[in-house]
Amino acid sequence: MGRRVLITGLDTFWGGRMAQALESEPEVEMILGLGADEPKVPLERTEFVRSDQKYSILSRIVRATQVDTIVHTFLETNSVNVPTRALHEINVIGTLNLLAAAGSAGSSVRQVVVKSSTHIYGSAETDPAWFREEDQRTSPVRTRVERSLIEVESLVRDFTEDNPHLVVSVLRFANVLGTDIVTPVSYNLRHKLLPCIAGYDPLVQFIEEDDVVRALEYVTSHQIPGVYNVAGAGKLPWSEVCSISSGHLFPLPPIKPRAFVAPLRRIGAVQFPPEMEGLVRYGRGVDTSRLIQAGFEYRYTSAGAVESFARANNLRRATGSGEPAYRYEQDVEQFFRHSPAVVRGIDA
Interface segment toward other proteins; rule CB under 8 A; list 38-46, 91-99, 182-190, 291-299: 291-299
Q: In this chain, which of 64, 105, 106, 125 binds other proteins, going by CB under 8 A?
A: 125
Q: Which of 132, 190, 214, 265 binds other proteins (CB under 8 A)?
A: 132
What is the rounded distance in angstroms from the CA atom of residue 91 to the CA atom of residue 86? 8
C-alpha to C-alpha distance for 334 and 15, rounded to whole angstroms: 19
How far from chain centre, in Å, is Cα 311?
21
Site for other proteins in 203-222 (CB under 8 A): 203
CB 95 within 8 A of CB 156: yes
User: Should residue 139 be labelled a site residue for other proteins when binding is judged by CB under 8 A?
Assistant: no
Residue 136 touches other proteins, criterion: CB under 8 A? no
Residue ranges in 64-83 that form contacts with other proteins under rule CB under 8 A: none
Q: How far is the CB of 169 from other proteins (least distance, A)?
A: 17
Please identify, using beta-carbon distances, which residue of 79 and 160 lies nearer to other proteins: 160
* CA–CA gap between residue 147 and residue 88 (Å, rounded): 9
Q: Residue 65 Cβ, how far from other proteins at the closest point, in Å?
A: 33
129 makes contact with other proteins (CB under 8 A): yes
Q: CA 200 to CA 56: how far, in whole Å? A: 44
**Nearer to other proteins (CB atom), residue 293 or residue 339:** 293
Which of 234, 259, 327, 336 binds other proteins (CB under 8 A)? It is 234
- Strand-pair category, 203-204 with 236-237: antiparallel
CB of residue 151 vs other proteins: minimum separation in angstroms? 25
Rounded-to-integer distance, Cα 43 and Cα 25, Å: 13
Kindly tell me the burial class for residue 171, based on how many C-beta atoms sit within 10 Å of its own C-beta (0-12, 13-18, 19 or more): buried
Alpha-carbon span 316 to 322, nearest angstrom: 5
- The backbone torsions φ and ψ at residue 32, rounded to the nearest 5 degrees and listed phi first, read -120, 130
Supply the minimum distance, in Å, between the C-beta of residue 292 and other proteins. Answer: 6
Could you tell me which residues are beta bridge partners of residue 171? Answer: 115, 228
Q: Which positions from 297 to 326 touch other proteins by CB under 8 A, shown as an x/- string?
A: xxxxx-xx-xx-------------------
Measure CA of the first residue to CA of the last residue in the chain; give whole Å: 29
List the alpha helices (DSSP H) in the chain: 13-23, 58-65, 84-88, 94-103, 144-162, 184-190, 209-222, 238-244, 257-266, 274-282, 289-293, 302-319, 330-338
With CB under 8 A as the contact rule, which of the stretches 72-80, 97-105, 281-289, 334-342 interacts with other proteins?
Answer: 281-289
Check residue 328 for interaction with other proteins (CB under 8 A).
no
The reply to whether 173 sits near other proteins by the rule CB under 8 A is: no
**142 near other proteins (CB under 8 A):** no
If the CB atoms of residues 128 and 324 are measured against other proteins, the closer one turns out to be 128
CB of 39 within 8 A of CB of 328?
yes
Nearer to other proteins, 198 or 315 (CB): 198
Min separation Cβ 163 and other proteins, Å = 23
Identify which range of 57-65, 81-89, 228-236, 338-346 contacts other proteins by CB under 8 A: 228-236
Q: Which stretch binds other proteins (CB under 8 A): 107-115, 125-133, 174-182, 268-276?
A: 125-133
Contacts of 59 by beta carbon, 8 Å cutoff, 6+ apart:
97, 100, 101, 104
Q: Output DSSP code: residue 109.
A: -
* Least distance between other proteins and beta carbon 197 (Å): 7
Chain residues binding other proteins by CB under 8 A are: 125-130, 132-135, 197-201, 203, 233-237, 240, 243-244, 254, 282, 285, 287-290, 292-293, 295, 297-301, 303-304, 306-307
